[in-house]
Amino acid sequence: MAFKNRNYFQRRTRPRGPRTNDRIRALEVQVISDGGKNLGTLNIKEAIAIAKQEGLDLIEISPKANPPVCKIIDIGKYKYDL
């Protein structure tokens, strides 16, 4: 069976959806807590540590903002809401 598209398998393995936790590329992010409280601009490692303490994920909501806006929320709940 011949495939018409050369990159058929590469396209399927590309991650989909918003960046989470270690996939976020920015060094500093604006963080919003699960309750909607603004925690301010934090280093990415600090933000991930806070999210892991609460047992949740850090999700990049607005990647094009300066600094990017991230929210601490459960990834399953976020995808369901979308």
pLDDT for 7: 62
> Dihedrals φ, ψ of 43, to 5°?
-65, 145
**Is pLDDT of 4 > 70?**
no
**Is pLDDT of 3 > 60?**
no
**Is pLDDT of 5 > 80?**
no
Is the C-alpha dihedral spanning 14, 19, 23, 25 positive or negative? Answer: positive
Distance CA 67, CA 73 (A): 19
Name the average pLDDT for the chain. Answer: 87
Q: What is 38-51 written as a DSSP string?
A: EEEEEEHHHHHHHH
**Is pLDDT of 11 > 90?**
no
Distance CA 26, CA 6 (A): 32
- Mean pLDDT for 33-51 is 95
- Mean pLDDT for 13-24 is 81
Residue type, 29: V
Query: Residue 81 CB: number of other CB atoms within 10 A?
Result: 7
